[in-house]
Amino acid sequence: MSTAVREVSVFGDAIQYFNEAAANLEIEEGMRRILTHPSRQVIVSIPFQRDNGEIEVYTGYRVQYNFTRGPAKGGIRYHPGVTLDEVTALAFWMTWKCATVDIPFGGGKGGVTCDPNVLSLGELERITRRYAAELVEIVGPDKDVPAPDVGTNPQTMAWFMDTYSMHVRQSMPGVVTGKPLEIGGSRGRVEATGRGVMLVTAAQLATEKRTLKGQRIVVQGFGNVGSVAAMLLQEHGATIVGISDVTGGYHNEKGIDVKSAIAYAQEHHSLDGFRGGERISNAQTLELPCDILVPAALEKQLTGENAARVQARLVVEGANGPTTPEADHVLHSRGITVVPDILANAGGVTVSYFEWAQDRMGYFWKESEVNERLKDILEHNFEAIHSMSKARNVTLRTAAYMTAIDRVVKSLKIRGVYA
Ligand code: NAD
């Protein structure tokens, strides 16, 4: 099927970014065809027992987009909006993200269409174990390595790892990353994506002869990525003037105390009722006056409709796919720089790679070592992508895709096409 006939969807949008970048590379049509199709899409039914004894059936997905450079790699999302289309787009982005930071993985992603906020811990455990059991044959340290994403966390990974280990009759910590430290997790993994957002923001500012000090930043989404990014950006001298989560936004020109916002969100399971800033809507959060906007919630937040009202001069994509192609063009035409998701939020998968390597060695690193290696990989690849964007006169997004596509195509050519 030609990519041109795909309906406008999350995956359809994602493909547009690929096509824009591929147009700058000399790629044979056959390669292009391979890379615009997922290798494998799996849909499973997940029967599970509610606490009241009733049996329900949820739907789960795992998409293994590409294996050229290594096992599939990518998170598992628990959210009511999860669809095959969304999971495919996320797996597609993982392929380019892993190649952008040059780690030996392909791309994958999974999800279960559910609302984790209304499920008990027991129900979440049963769903996770059944989902893991359904995927036993296709995941594994050399096949496909899941990790946390929206709505999942280290505990989810522990249940997944335990279920898989029970089925294969041996302890297999390397089947997932983002695990608790006690069972083979890596130091620094929980903070890695937010830390990466901070590092690439600082790297971009350095190209403008600026530092984080005094930058006024708005962060959308206050989960694993957004809250850690906000905290580290603040620690490095930035002022966080706006934050938000699914319940709404909070604006404070003098700066939000991120630590107290995190403590509040932990205690109340959301920011709802937080008093550290004036209450605003989610839409207003994205349009606040600021220097830097960090969308770190979900995809399609900056659109053709609201991009003209963004007041930041730099957008750093903490989330996957927060900017539609239409919005991307509007931001570009307005001179707003966008540091793309496949680079900006690659800190998480980079430390996942470290975790996978540590699990395989059975030898664990100090946190300072993890953070140093993360900084090294992100800064090195940022620099290469930034230079390419200057040399080829393309956006950072196009330069990141070009770098990633080139790496995957080279590997694919060396392996050859088994056709
Ligand atoms: P999370 O579940 O920990 O947090 C998501 C946050 O977004 C929550 O605070 C939620 O309330 C908020 N949110 C949801 N809808 C919103 C809306 N409409 N407006 C404002 N806030 C909203 O998830 P996460 O792990 O922080 O992931 C966030 C994004 O980052 C996702 O796009 C994810 O794919 C991406 N990402 C995550 C990782 C990781 O390591 N966790 C790595 C790379 C990319």
pLDDT digit string, tens, across residues 345-367? 999 999 999 999 999 999 999 99
Q: What is the pLDDT of residue 295?
A: 98
**Residue whose token pair is 């830097």:** 292
| Separation of CA 178 and ligand 1 centre (Å) | 15
How does residue 9 score in pLDDT terms, banded at 50, 70 and 90? confident
**Rounded distance between C-alpha atoms, residue 63 and residue 252, angstroms:** 41
Q: What is the pLDDT of residue 2?
A: 40
**Residue whose token pair is 């001298």:** 237
- Residues catalogued as catalytic: 109
Q: What is the pLDDT of residue 5?
A: 39
pLDDT at 4 over 90: no
| Separation of CA 410 and ligand 1 centre (Å) | 33
Mean pLDDT of 184-203: 98
**Rounded distance between C-alpha atoms, residue 204 and residue 206, angstroms:** 5
Q: What is the pLDDT of residue 6?
A: 38
| Separation of CA 223 and ligand 1 centre (Å) | 5
Q: What is the pLDDT of residue 218?
A: 98
Domains defined for the chain, CATH in brackets: 3-16+32-171 (3.40.50.10860), 192-344 (3.40.50.720)
Q: What is the pLDDT of residue 176?
A: 98
Q: In this prediction, what percent of the chain has a pLDDT beyond 70?
A: 98
Q: For ligand 1, is residue 46 a contact (CB within 6 Å)?
A: no
Q: What is the pLDDT of residue 8?
A: 60
pLDDT at 57 over 60: yes
Q: Residue of the nearest CA to atom 14 in ligand 1?
A: 246
Q: Which atom of ligand 1 is nearest to the CA of 192?
A: 40
Q: Which atom of ligand 1 is nearest to the CA of 349?
A: 42
User: Per mean pLDDT, which range of 10-24, 90-104, 236-250, 390-404 is the poorest?
Assistant: 10-24
Q: How far is CA 221 from the centre of its chain?
A: 13
Substitution candidate for ligand 1 out of 115, 224, 258, 279 with most atoms within 8 A of CB? 224
Per the model's pLDDT, the better-predicted residue between 419 and 243 turns out to be 243
Q: For ligand 1, is residue 320 a contact (CB within 6 Å)?
A: yes
Per the model's pLDDT, the better-predicted residue between 13 and 245 turns out to be 245
Q: For ligand 1, is residue 282 a contact (CB within 6 Å)?
A: yes
For 199, left (φ over 0), alpha (ψ -120 to 50), or beta? alpha
Specify the pairing of strand 40-49 against strand 55-66: antiparallel
Q: For ligand 1, is residue 324 a contact (CB within 6 Å)?
A: no
Q: In this prediction, what percent of the chain has a pLDDT beyond 90?
A: 97
| Separation of CA 82 and ligand 1 centre (Å) | 13
pLDDT at 3 over 80: no
Instruction: Please give the mean pLDDT across all residues of the chain.
Output: 96
**Rounded distance between C-alpha atoms, residue 61 and residue 117, angstroms:** 19
pLDDT at 387 over 80: yes
**Rounded distance between C-alpha atoms, residue 303 and residue 172, angstroms:** 42
How does residue 205 score in pLDDT terms, banded at 50, 70 and 90? very high
